[in-house]
Amino acid sequence: MTNTAPVKETKAQKIERLKREKNPWEAFNEVREFAREGRASVVPEWASAYFKWWGVYTQGDGVGAVGGKGGEGLATDYFMLRIGIPNGIIRADQLRVIADITKKHARNLADITVRQNIQLHWLTIESLPEIVDALDAIGLSPKGACGDVVRNVTGCPLAGIAHDEILDASQLAVEVAHHLTANPEFYNLPRKFKISISGCPVWCNYPEINDVALTGVRRGDEVGYSLRVGGGLSNEPHLGVRLDAFIKPEQALDVVRRVTEIFRDQQGLRESRDRARLKYLFMREGWTAESFLRELEARLGYKLDPGVDENAPEDILRDHAGIHRQRQDGLSYVGASVLRGRLTGDQLTAAAELAERYGSGELRATVMQNLIFINVPTENAGPLAGEIEKIGLRVEGSTFWRGAIACTGTEFCKLAITETKGFAR
Summarised one tens digit per residue, pLDDT across range 138-154 is 999 999 999 999 999 99
Count CB-CB contacts under 10 A for residue 326. 18
Per-residue pLDDT reduced to its tens digit, 102-117: 999 999 999 999 999 9
Q: Determine the pLDDT at residue 5.
A: 62
- 170-199+207-300 domain in CATH 3.30.413.10? yes
User: Strand, helix or coil at 63?
Assistant: coil
DSSP 91: E
Q: What is the pTM of this model?
A: 0.96
Q: Is 288 exposed, middle or buried (0-12, 13-18, 19+ CB in 10 A)?
A: exposed
Neighbouring C-alpha atoms within 13 Å toward the C-beta of 307? 18
Cβ–Cβ < 8 Å for 385, 114:
no
Neighbouring C-alpha atoms within 13 Å toward the C-beta of 43? 7
Residues 239, 416, 123, 76, Cα dihedral to 10°: 150
Residue 379's contacts (CB-CB under 8 Å, 6 or more residues apart) are none
Are both 170-199+207-300 and 322-403 of the same fold?
Answer: no
Domain ranges of the chain: 11-137, 170-199+207-300, 322-403
The second-level CATH assignment, the architecture, of 322-403 is Alpha-Beta Complex (3.90)
Question: Nearest 5°: CA angle at 347, between 341 and 351?
Answer: 95
Alpha-carbon span 375 to 369, nearest angstrom? 20
Amino acid at 297: E
Q: Determine the pLDDT at residue 168.
A: 98
Cβ–Cβ < 8 Å for 320, 372:
yes
DSSP 286: -
CATH topology of domain 11-137: Sulfite Reductase Hemoprotein; domain 2 (3.90.480)
Q: Determine the pLDDT at residue 3.
A: 59
Q: Determine the pLDDT at residue 65.
A: 86
Q: Determine the pLDDT at residue 2.
A: 55
Sheet holding 241-247, edge to edge: 195-198, 212-219, 222-229, 241-247
Q: Determine the pLDDT at residue 18.
A: 98
Per-residue pLDDT reduced to its tens digit, 354-378: 999 999 999 999 999 999 999 999 9
Measure CA of the first residue to CA of the last residue in the chain; give whole Å.
65
Q: Is 208 exposed, middle or buried (0-12, 13-18, 19+ CB in 10 A)?
A: buried
**What are the start-end ranges of the H helices in 265-344?**
280-283, 289-300
Give me the residues of the chain with pLDDT under 50, please: none
172: nearest Cα among 215, 211, 232: 215
Q: Determine the pLDDT at residue 130.
A: 98
